[in-house]
Amino acid sequence: MSPSAVATMRDGLIELVRDVGRQLLSWRTSGGVQGEWHGTQFHAKADQWAHRGLCLGLKVLEPAIPVVSEEDATEDPRPGADRYWLIDPIDGTASYAGGFDGFVTQVALMEHQVPILAVVYAPVYQDLFVAMKGSGATLNGARLPLGRSTELTLIDNYPTPRGIAADLYREMSFSRYLECGSIGLKICRVAEGVADVFLKDVLVRDWDLAAPHLILHEAGGCLVDGAGAEITYGASRRHVGLVAVRDAALAGRLVRWSQARGATVPAASPTGSESRG
């Protein structure tokens, strides 16, 4: 797909994702937060409402491109499909239902199993992250990263570090800690430059990572799995752990630390529904 065609599609995608984000805020007071837990995952009514809205909008935007969604994982693209949309209607559903701010709607256009266009929108903050492969990334129109602190900042989803984050914060002498909600938003905050490291020992899926991965990459950052391998997308759609950092050298240091710690990933670990925002 030519860069000009992707750019044209980008403008329509931005409007669609913003519209779904606005609806998510209104649904909070009209039954959207109602739902149930499936294991460690909370599923709200708004997940399905946002899924339907995105699918309808994407079909209008480009009818020939299939959609793969967290809310309908059986709808994989045809074997060998060159392009497909990969969407997470609400990344951070527990944050959304709990009244916290840190949830996003995120969409990636995949070509040959690689994200080439990404939009991540945090409705409460009105923060819009956009990236095109080879063209950089922006936050609300400003080129990323916006800046880097001289202090090393760790980001995770609790008021204070817990578990592996607490060990990392203590043993690697971080200066600051930032609380944030969804996995996608935390990766984008690293791309923005307000955080330097996000490390998680959980199982994650393609739709958790593809859109923020492109944004982080285009901002000059690095995303690898828990073993330090490059994240690739495709049939398995499962990734064991993740390390999102401002640069590759720091990624290697963190992977070595995690492996020395002997971190393991429970089979039922939460993926995209963080407990706080």
Q: Are residues 139 and 157 in the same domain?
A: no
Q: Are residues 74 and 174 in the same domain?
A: no
Q: Are residues 211 and 240 in the same domain?
A: yes
Question: Residues 205-253: pLDDT tens digits?
Answer: 999 999 999 999 999 999 999 889 999 998 657 898 899 999 888 888 8
CA distance 260 to 228: 13
Domain end marker among 143, 164, 183: 143
pLDDT of residue 61: 94
Question: Is the pTM value of this prediction over 0.85?
Answer: yes
Question: What mean pLDDT comes out for the span 14-19?
Answer: 97
Name the domain count of the chain.
Answer: 2
Q: Are residues 20 and 86 in the same domain?
A: yes
Domain span at residue 242 reads 153-261
Q: Are residues 108 and 174 in the same domain?
A: no
Question: What mean pLDDT comes out for the span 52-74?
Answer: 90
Q: Are residues 135 and 217 in the same domain?
A: no
B/e letters for 165-194, b = 16+ CB within 10 Å, e = fewer, are bebbbeeeebeebebbbbbbbbbbbbbbbb
The listed range with the strongest mean pLDDT (64-78, 180-194, 226-240) is: 180-194
Indicate the pLDDT class of residue 261, thresholds 50, 70 and 90. confident
Q: Are residues 184 and 135 in the same domain?
A: no
Question: Residues 138-152: pLDDT tens digits?
Answer: 999 999 998 777 789
- DSSP string computed for 69-112: ETTBTT-PPPTT-SEEEEEEEEESHHHHHHT-S--EEEEEEEET
